[in-house]
Structure 1
Amino acid sequence: MKLPKVPKHSFLLLLISLLIMLIVPPYLREYSLLHFEGLLLNPFISTIFLTSLYLVTDNRRFFIIGLLILLPVLVINTLYYFDEKYLNSLTATLSYIAFFAYICVFLGRFLARSKTVSINVIYAAVCLYFFIAIIWSFIYITTYNTLENAFTFSATLQESVLPENDPITIFSYFSFVTMTTLGYGDITPVHPIARAWVSAQTVIGQLYLAIVMARFVGLYISDSRTGKSK
């Protein structure tokens, strides 16, 4: 049985939600006078997870399977509000990776099956790019927690925040600057396994922009011009 049709421009809303999820938490931690940032963020992030699952699955069976994968993530997300160290367990990081990988599979399928390139398809492609970076952030957290001295951190970074106290902030930042090959040098992969994951993400990030995004944007512009000429 199919789920209700995804509304137009829904992936734009998902993209905006992902941007808010990345940008807003540091401000809440910095300026929240009553330390309510966890209370505010926990329902919001859980809502984004549920919305993401609903948007990318077009079949009720796949949606239910996704809910089963999401359930431990929601539990961990709630426990993280009370104690941030819950995220440092291997079970926690693998649960996040499994859920976001599930989302990526359906986003990729949606993009592959798109017969025409609309603006919503472009938004979906950008969302997939974001989710890949998010997956890699949890891969880095797993690597950091399981391999001793997998990464080194600059003195300035260690003075502002300890990686073990706020791994999501540190490695989300590292994942996105690696994905775009920006790199500020404040986090350095030292262990060969960490370097391998960094190399893989760098290649995937560049190929995604050069092939996938460039293709969709090019087709969208071409279709727009063809439509106007008619």
Structure 2
Amino acid sequence: MRKKLYKLRFELFFLSLMAILFSSLFFPTSFYIDQALPVLFIVNVIVGLVIFLHDKERSWITVGLLILVVGAYVFRLISAHNNTLDYIRFSAFFVFYIIITLEVVKQVWKAKTVDKSVIFGLMSGYICLGLLAFFAFVSIEMTSPNSFKGLPLDATFPQKASHLLYYSYVTLMTIGYGDITPTTGTAQKASI
């Protein structure tokens, strides 16, 4: 079972990333942001564990991050809204995507043959780069509000984050529509 899962690691990870990026098309916005997205991110971390099946040390780090994220999510469900829990969860996901991106790139780089799995690994790595940019942009917006022009002024933080996810991929693909632009030096440097 472990061998079969490991063989399909990139395909499974890619599917979980696609669910994060595109399931908003099938759910109402508030449900997607408040309920579906946190669960999809947790599923993505669980699937990410498969990528580390042959690396026990990083596997344990990922399990620790998963426990932290699930604990913060469950505690948030049973208690009043607490920004500290959101920051803990956000930080855990940021660390996870740094680790998983490096691991995916390493495994793809070391592949002896290019097959379907490696192609899924390449696409997963690309999507992870976009997620890293997203977490960087959200971190900048959290520490220095209004670092990006074009975000709705009256939007909640999750809505702003949704716009920054869009911005991260538009920037990564070098489309750059210009509807969201960095205004601070830090945001401009991160956008490069």
TM-score if structure 2 supplies the norm length?
0.82
CA distance in 1, matches of 2:105, 2:32: 36
State the 1:128 CA deviation: 0.7
Q: Say what the alpha-carbon RMSD is for the aligned residues.
A: 2.9
Query: 1:99–1:105: structure 2 CA closer, same or farther, 3 Å change rule?
Result: same
Query: 1:121–1:189: structure 2 CA closer, same or farther, 3 Å change rule?
Result: same
CA distance in 2, matches of 1:80, 1:175: 27
CA distance in 1, matches of 2:96, 2:56: 17
Which amino acid counterpart does residue 135 of structure 2 have in structure 1?
F
* Cα contact 2:6–2:50 (8 A) shared by 1: no
* Cα contact 1:73–1:92 (8 A) shared by 2: yes
Query: 1:21–1:183: structure 2 CA closer, same or farther, 3 Å change rule?
Result: same
Pick which of 20-29 and 103-112 moved more.
20-29
In the alignment, which residue of structure 1 is the partner of 2:142?
A: 145
CA distance in 2, matches of 1:39, 1:149: 26
| CA deviation map 1:5-58 (0-9, x unaligned) | 24444422321221121111353124x8xx587445543431221111222441
Gaps of 5+ in 1: 200-230
Which amino acid counterpart does residue 53 of structure 1 have in structure 2?
L
State the 1:65 CA deviation: 1.9
* Cα contact 2:148–2:180 (8 A) shared by 1: yes
SS of residue matched to 1:50: helix
CA radius of gyration, larger in: 1
State the 1:100 CA deviation: 0.7
Q: 2:121 aligns with which of 120, 124, 149?
A: 124
Identity %: 21
Query: 1:102–1:40: structure 2 CA closer, same or farther, 3 Å change rule?
Result: same
| CA deviation map 1:48-101 (0-9, x unaligned) | 211112224413332112211333233344466674956763x44332211111
Which amino acid counterpart does residue 24 of structure 1 have in structure 2?
S
* Cα contact 2:6–2:53 (8 A) shared by 1: no
| CA deviation map 1:132-177 (0-9, x unaligned) | 1111101101100111431111xxx628x71524233111111011
Pick which of 178-187 and 78-87 moved more.
78-87
In the alignment, which residue of structure 1 is the partner of 2:12?
A: 13
CA distance in 2, matches of 1:140, 1:42: 19
Gaps of 5+ in 2: none
In the alignment, which residue of structure 2 is the partner of 1:111?
A: 108
Q: 2:175 aligns with which of 163, 182, 191?
A: 182
Aligned counterparts, 1:193-204, within 5 A? 193-199=186-192
SS of residue matched to 1:158: coil
